[in-house]
Amino acid sequence: MVRRGRTGPIRVLIAKPGLDGHDRGAKVVARALRDAGMEVIYAGLRQTPEEVVRAALEEDVDLIGLSILSGAHMALFPKILALLKAEKAGNIPVFAGGIIPDEDARRLKKAGIKAIFGPGTTLQEIVTTAQRLARGAA
């Protein structure tokens, strides 16, 4: 199987699964990753887990970033991880941002979300983590 050569820019999918309608945060993060030289596929609002996974595979991304504010993360994130695994794409790292209580964050990390960013995270921290995760992708 051909793997992405490391010659091209990092490709990252930014998506908002579920029903919340506020995507300012996701857009700011998309912009920051763009300015860090990444190709950001912005999938936008109200994505089902199936749509997120399909976009990630078609776009052959190195990394997936999920933004969520609605509180549905405990239902949607594990579903996305399971779908990725079912597609033999469990090696694509997933990070998340939004309003996620600490206890949930712990459980989600255990379930396989690589990093979770809450309010107050600096953009630099997100960029650095995204670069590290993308480099580590198999």
Partner 1 sequence: MTGSTRLPLLAKAIVDGDRRALARTISAVEDGDPSVASVVRALYPRTGRAPVIGLTGPLGVGKSSLLSVLIGGLRERGKTVGVVAVDPSSPFSGGSVLGDRIRLERKANDDGVFFRSMASRGESGGIAASTREVARLLDAAGFDVVFVETVGSGQVDVAIRGVASTSVLVLVPHLGDEVQTLKAGLFEIADVFCINKADLPGADLAAKDLSDLVTLGAARDGWAPPIVPTSTTTPSGIDELWTAIVAHERFLDQSGQRTERERARLRIEIAERVKDRVGREVAERLTQDPELRRLLDRVVARTLDPASAAEELFRTRYAAQ
- Binder of partner 1 out of 21, 37, 101, 118 (CB under 8 A): 37
- Binder of partner 1 out of 18, 43, 66, 94 (CB under 8 A): 43
- Binder of partner 1 out of 22, 58, 128, 132 (CB under 8 A): 58
Cα 65 to Cα 47: distance, rounded to the nearest angstrom: 13
How many Cβ atoms from other residues are within 10 Å of residue 57's Cβ? Answer: 16
Q: How many residues does the chain have?
A: 138
Minimum Å distance from CB 11 to partner 1? 7
* Secondary structure, 3-state, 73-108: HHHHHHHHHHHHHHCCCCCCCEEEEECCCHHHHHHH
Select the span of 43-51, 64-72, 98-106, 108-116 touching partner 1 (CB under 8 A). Answer: 43-51
Does residue 138 interact with partner 1 by CB under 8 A?
Answer: no
Residues in contact with partner 1, total (CB under 8 A)? Answer: 35
